[in-house]
Structure 1
Amino acid sequence: MTALRRRETLTSQLTRTLTGRIAQGMLKPGDKLPSEQELIGEFGVSRTVVREAISSLRAAGMVTTQQGVGAFVQADALTQPFRIDEANLDLLKEVISVLELRIALEAEACALAAQRRGEAHLEAMRVALDRMEAAIAASEDAVAPDLDFHRTIAEATGNAHFTHLFSYLGALMIPRTRLQTFRFFADDRTEYLRRVNREHEDIYQAILRRDSDAARSAMRLHLSNSRERLRKAMDQGAASPDRPNGAAITGE
């Protein structure tokens, strides 16, 4: 029997294992997946876990199912669009991994935005920053203007692929990264969020000056600071890598 670790949900682990077997060619297009009973016996999980894993594979377009027959690997199982399993984002470690992807994406987008931004982009960024500052002062949710600021930078690249990928990552990540890390690294919520917005201001000023190198560095520093706050929270026990932590605060 193949034991599954309990550092993430059993469904996610089984889904990952079966996906790996498909990617490695152990299960080829057209092949029938092992039966429910065979998977239960091999992995020591419940019927519910098996069914949820198969449903995840089906939703990802990797398998098709025939009632009363079983699940079969799709012919195009390995050519599916880029996708992040939302279930895994309940793990703080996975949230940090996706944030690292954002660092690579948004740092370069910021450099391009500094070269290509128009006046309308600058105005939209300024409005987002002012809205975030007002929300902070009023102790309101600052996530929406935060997301708008980052989205506008992606739009300012003039490259629709940056916009589409950021929209996907932003919609996926923002609700999952509203963690109460400010408790551990600032005297109060307001100071924490104002520090975040000061980092935004540095990014804006670099884009305003059309300084691509400074814009890239400011965005990398901003998101890297967010990553380090989350890492420190995890290391200090603020949140287990196996569980989501706390209530909504901010997008970063």
Structure 2
Amino acid sequence: MQQTKTNLTTALVDFLREQISSGEIAPGDKLPSENSLMTSRSVSRTVVREAILRLQAEGLVHTRRGAGSFALTPPRDDSESPSGHVPRTLQERRHLLEFRMGFESQSAAKAAENLPPGALADMDFALNAFRASGGNASETMNCDYEFHLAVARASGNPYAVQTLQSFGPAMIAMPRQRFDMPTDELSPRLARVAEEHEAIREAIATGDQVLAAAFMRAHLSNSIRRLEHESGLTPKTFG
């Protein structure tokens, strides 16, 4: 009996993890209710609750008392976002990365030019937290976002900051490798992301506007390639 319950819990965890990683349940979306999962997956309430606890431990689900469980990050108040739109499809994620490539490259250049007090400390905090996350999906997503937000703030352009805040952590493209169980070390793919962030930070620290913009553009371009590779698509088939 115990083995059967364990197998059912594992199967439900795998199902919900796939729903999250594929974008069927987007960041901030509410997971199906306990009753809905019990009916659709033919499992007990205990199995559902244990599956949610395991997803919480993986950093994939946030549960808010009285409101339910949500994917990756807590739901955003629509008043915080002019569009209220979270990128769900691969096409939308690519479009967002292409959009970010333009203004975030400029933000990196302006950050290198301005470099206000405390800006590097904010970037370093996000970088260190990213490396210490061990690949926990929710933590790496938030730390990734906080690094880009720190660069935008360092640019001194409030519109760049507002644009990133309007998307929140959901703007970060999430390769499925980020949905593996957390480990003590970053995966090779996440380690490369950290290295790209550090290159941007160093260019900003030295005041090299051209290099800072180039590294930011290369980082976001690499993010597109990582997304395409993870999806098994080429730029042509991506649309």
Fold match, TM over 0.5? yes
Query: Residues 205-216 of structure 1 correspond to what in structure 2 (within 5 A)?
Result: 205-216=202-213
The counterpart of 1:178, out of the listed 167, 174, 196, is 174
Structure 2 residue identity aligned to 1:128: A
CA contact under 8 A between 1:181 and 1:230: conserved in structure 2?
Answer: no
Query: Residues 114-133 of structure 1 correspond to what in structure 2 (within 5 A)?
Result: 114-133=112-131
Deviation of 1:189 after TM superposition, in Å, equals: 5.7
Provide the residue aligned with 1:141 in structure 2: 139
Deviation of 1:234 after TM superposition, in Å, equals: 2.9
Structure 2 residue identity aligned to 1:216: A
Query: Residues 152-171 of structure 1 correspond to what in structure 2 (within 5 A)?
Result: 152-171=150-169
Instruction: Name the SS of the counterpart of 2:133 in structure 1.
Output: helix
CA contact under 8 A between 2:176 and 2:230: conserved in structure 1?
Answer: no
Larger relative helix fraction: 2
Change (3 A) 1:96 1:124: same
Instruction: Name the SS of the counterpart of 2:139 in structure 1.
Output: coil
Change (3 A) 1:159 1:179: same
TM-score, with structure 2 as normaliser:
0.56
C-alpha RMSD over aligned residues: 3.1
Q: Rg: which structure is higher?
A: 1
C-alpha separation in 2, matches of 1:104 and 1:139? 26
Change (3 A) 1:83 1:114: same
TM-score, with structure 1 as normaliser:
0.54
C-alpha separation in 2, matches of 1:189 and 1:236? 25
Runs of 5+ consecutive residues of structure 1 not aligned to the other structure:
1-59, 61-80, 242-252
Which deviates further from its counterpart, 221-230 or 163-172? 163-172
Runs of 5+ consecutive residues of structure 2 not aligned to the other structure:
1-77, 180-184
Change (3 A) 1:118 1:150: same
C-alpha separation in 1, matches of 2:136 and 2:159? 35
- 1:120-148 CA-to-partner distances (Å, cap 9, x unmatched) read 00111111111111113789831222111
2:222 is aligned with 1:225? yes
